Chain A
Amino acid sequence: MSPTGAVAHSRLADLVGSARVIADPAQLASYEIDGTRPSAALQPESSLQISEIIKFAITEKLGVVATGGRTKLNVGLPPKRYDLALDMSSLNKIVAYDPGDLTLSVEAGLRLSVLDDTLGKHHQFLPLAVPYHPQTTLGGIIASGVDGPLRQFYGTARDFLLGVEFVTGEGVAAKSGGRVVKNVTGYDIHKLMIGALGTLGLITRLNFKTFPLPPTSCGFVGRFPTAQQACDMRNRIARSHLTPLTLDILSPSVTEIFESQTAAQFESEPMPSDVLSRTEWATSVGFAGSERVRERYLLELQRIAEESGGAGSLVPEKTLPAAFARKREFVPIALASSPATTIVRMSALPAKISDMLIAAQKAAEVNSLRWAALARGLGIIYFALLPSALDDGSKQRVVNTTDSVHEACAKLGGQSTIPWCPTTWKSNLKVWGPENPDFPQMRKIKNVFDPQGILSPGRFVGGL
């Protein structure tokens, strides 16, 4: 945009008002993606303005990325072009909330933590429990496709996102779905927007189904000498009649980073010291219900933990929020724990979690890398490599490790990506995993929504 910069800025000021155009380099630094700073950040107030901006971007061939809490901008490949940041923070209203109907409509720039307060007054919530909880926006949660520990019981946003309004890469304001909890009218385009990193459309409004807050909840942790035993506890729970709210497996090394000062940046309450052990694997289970129900869970979980060859105990009620927050914030805590944290996200069939963990552990240890793993009981594994430095030697060891992990994961019938790693290593790492057989179908979809390739260009699978 530089040659025609001044003209472009004045045109942008016409579109959104000069007070809503950020061009000051210092301010723009916080919009950087993988080291690329946009020429301007705009703060639109309506989808109409966004349509106009997109039409302008098409004529000027500008790359556009929507931003929310700016907590996950480095996920994916570096953008091929990044001229305009569309800062959605002014679109932050709750448009409609009908507690009796369990439906909610919000603008994309609304923060989840702000929404929690409103829903909480009606004893309801959105069971997202995603990382970066204080800052993250609903639009960012959907566009990045992050998950959280509550998916064990409630599923992911895909299961309770009812509809989306968005602006396409051609500047068309459109919607899909609706604001009723059951609906099969038209294609589920809103599902395509989940995890698409803004490559298909700029999300302006989101409709969700809300849920009643669970009654008194409890935490239980089973501790085991081996990963297999921790996974065995997971398998036994899956075969039981228990339906826990959360079920995660944590490696012994997670204890260290959870108890560190680094973790305290994300959750100020200290980690209860006797919940996790630095030498044992943990299977962490959250559940809720009346006193009778909680007693039943406790008895059964204790029995299951023993049958799996370990021991377990309740997390003291007082320290439960601090422990839960760390589990939710595993990704940012891991990222802050090393100058070159690289996180591989793997999917596995539930019965293969143990094999996957062992294969990844082996790969990290062969390459002398520190690591920490958190696996959701449904088969999503976050495997964090924690090199001590951001140097070439570390890079090579991380490349070797992640290549082995990708290979092992594919062999076990799963898929793997590297959502988080140092920017400078991205050209050496398979950020989106091995070649994806679905790619030709994905390209068809990209061409429908963004034929000019101006939305988050290049950040997605295969450089879409």
Chain B
Amino acid sequence: MKPALLRDLKSLLGDASVLHRPEELLLYEYDGSVEIARPTCVVFPRTTAHVQRIMQLANQYETPIIGRGAGTGLSGGALARNGGILTVFSRMNRILDIDIENQRATVQPGVVNSDLSAAVAHAGLHFAPDPSSQKACSIGGNVSENSGGPHTLAYGVTTNHTLALEAVLPTGELVRIGSPALDPVGYDLMGLFVGSEGTLALVTEITVKLTRLPETIKTLLAIFETLDDATETVVDITARGITPAACEMLDGWTLCAVEAYVHAGFPLDCAAVLLLEVDGVKEAAEQHAEDVAEICRKHHAREVRVARDEQERDLLWKGRKNAFGAVGRLSPTYYVQDGVIPRTKLPATLRHINEIGKKYGFQIGNIFHAGDGNLHPLILFDARDSDQFRRVVAASDEIIKFCIEMGGSITGEHGVGMEKDRLMPLLFTDAELDVMRCVRDAFNPRGILNPDKIFPTSKGCGEIHVRPLPQSRATTGLTAT
């Protein structure tokens, strides 16, 4: 690393806020995906002025700069792909303003997702996007990735809840975009910036909507002998005019793994379970819970459990929220995919995923947001084995290609990052990618901010860019969700 850059960063932030020794950088080579990339240095700004100055230094020293929240991302979005200044927002973690009356909050990007909900719970409010990593992930990261979560089916994803941003552009310019009031005048800059995977700006302040907690929540678990029955149930629920707050599916194998871990009394011999939630005013939630249970039974559910209290609800959700962890106990590493399909194609897609598992010799567990067709196949493998790594990427690509054939997409909520950039040409023409690149270049003209992400690099489509994990670090891929 350039000594002058190190000196300038230390003089700006203090020695303790700049990491640059190899052993200090180890942790920051990872996120929740299987990607690894070592930054040149790691810095911890505490103010917007720090961020602005770091951006200026990155320009001055022509060094890439990458933003990072809690590092829970699942597509390598917050990794320094080819080195650079990794700017970690964990010390910009203050909730700046809570406006109960208007249901707004303004936070620094490092605020942990569930901390904001906890801070407004006394007023009966919450921040609706709830990724499974919500106890660790930061709202800045949610904004960058446009994160979802189990309850996005009814409540929407991060972009539906983000109103205004303060941000430092790659040119060093400080901007405020959007408005705490709705419908800001002009082009929807918020719509562009949220979900731009840290390639257009480093966000330093975020104003979000707060959503009222429902009066009544009813959580149901329905157990099915076939995937088709479970899928038809999902479609039928909507046909009856009900939009569940959450509609999650776990396949039989995953459920066994989960049960061995959480001991929630899940069955060990079924094809799939649906975890369903309906909410609203008491009368509506109760009615919908009855209707949903009846629809499940109509589609041959073996059993429908309804949580009787908060404790039972937590137990049902524990299975879902700890599923990744449960699978992690069974394998040194797993590769989680994020394909999206039209939800009526679920049975065909799952059958195909199982075939791919057999073909490549991997066990694949399936957990997904069934209501919106967002799949999370977990492929169990050992990253210490470079041949397995190669094959897991090939298997994963086959899954994604099948999702596209079904009319779907390559990522529902994890982002493209450095994991799926090479798959982008499967969805977009060169001309379309060029339009998007031009948008990036309009804000990030020197390409200094989060380079080599989203857009395919020189490698052709479908070419594998595997970098097997060295032996000693193989198990660190377990940090996910």
Contacts and interface: CB of A to CB of B under 8 A. Distances in A.
Interface of A: 98-103, 123, 145, 147, 155-156, 158-159, 168, 172-176, 178-189, 191-192, 194-196, 200, 211-215, 235, 238, 241-243, 289-290, 292-293, 295-297, 347-352, 378-380, 413-415, 417, 432-433, 436-439, 441-442, 444-449, 460-461
Interface string B72-104: 000000000000000000000000000101111
Interface stretch (B3-11, B404-412, B462-470): B404-412
29 contacts: A100-B238, A158-B188, A172-B434, A174-B429, A174-B432, A180-B341, A180-B342, A182-B340, A183-B340, A184-B412, A185-B410, A185-B416, A191-B159, A191-B188, A195-B188, A196-B187, A212-B242, A238-B103, A241-B281, A347-B181, A347-B183, A349-B104, A351-B102, A379-B182, A414-B181, A415-B185, A438-B189, A447-B442, A448-B442
Contacts of B188: 158, 191-192, 194-195
Nearest to A215: B241
Contacts of A155: 156, 160
Contact of A349 (B180, B187, B427): B180
Interface in B54-80: none
B241 A415 contact: no
A187 B189 contact: no
A156 B159 CA distance: 13
Instruction: Across the A-B interface, give the 9 residue pairs with the lowest CB-CB distance, nearest first.
Output: A191-B191, A241-B215, A101-B342, A347-B181, A444-B442, A212-B241, A100-B344, A182-B372, A292-B283
A432 B218 CA distance: 46
A212 B239 contact: yes
Given A182-B157, A183-B340, 10 more contacts: A100-B238, A180-B340, A184-B416, A191-B192, A195-B183, A212-B241, A243-B281, A296-B282, A349-B181, A460-B186
A292 B183 CA distance: 35
Contacts of A238: 103, 212
Contacts of A348: 181
A178 B373 CA distance: 13
Contacts of A436: 185-186
B16 interface: no
B163 to A, nearest CB: 10
Given A159-B160, A178-B408, A296-B281, A187 B427 contact: no
B436 A186 contact: yes
Contacts of A352: 102
A447 B104 CA distance: 33
B238 A212 contact: yes
B196 interface: yes
A188 B200 CA distance: 13
A67 to B, nearest CB: 21
Interface string B349-393: 000000000000000000001001110000000000000000000
Contact of B103 (A175, A290, A350, A460): A350
A448 B281 contact: no
B453 to A, nearest CB: 12
A435 to B, nearest CB: 11
Interface string B412-426: 111110001000100
B369 A182 contact: yes
Contact of A172 (B341, B431, B439): B431
A196 B188 CA distance: 8
B179 A174 contact: no
Contacts of A413: 179-181
A289 B186 contact: no
Interface of B: 99, 101-104, 145-146, 148, 152, 156-157, 159-160, 175-177, 179-189, 191-192, 194-196, 212, 214-215, 235, 238-243, 280-284, 287, 340-345, 369, 372-374, 407-416, 420, 424, 427-429, 431-432, 434-436, 438-440, 442-443, 454
Contact of A441 (B177, B282, B410, B415): B177
Contacts of A414: 179, 181
A238 B101 CA distance: 9
Contacts of A172: 431, 434-435
Contacts of B440: 187
Contacts of B182: 347, 378-380
Contacts of A188: 146, 159, 191-192, 194-195
A95 B184 CA distance: 32
Nearest to A462: B186
A379 B241 contact: no
